[in-house]
Amino acid sequence: DVLEAECSRFSDVVRSGMNWTNKSWELLEEKLSDRAFVVGASMILVK
């Protein structure tokens, strides 16, 4: 029925939204760890 279809579509949207969020978090963490590595390396070099 219609309600069931709406619910499953909604859960699909939520699931894909969660996937998107996870992906962007992974990218963000990669960027941050890269930056932390660069900062750490340059601090070591400065010493």
**pLDDT score at 47:** 77
- In whole angstroms, how large is the CA radius of gyration of the chain? 20
Domain segments of the chain as ranges: 1-47
Does pTM surpass 0.85? no
Query: What does the pLDDT profile of the chain (47 residues) look like in tens digits?
Result: 889 999 899 999 999 988 888 899 899 999 999 999 999 999 998 87
- Sign (positive/negative) of CA torsion 13, 18, 23, 29? positive
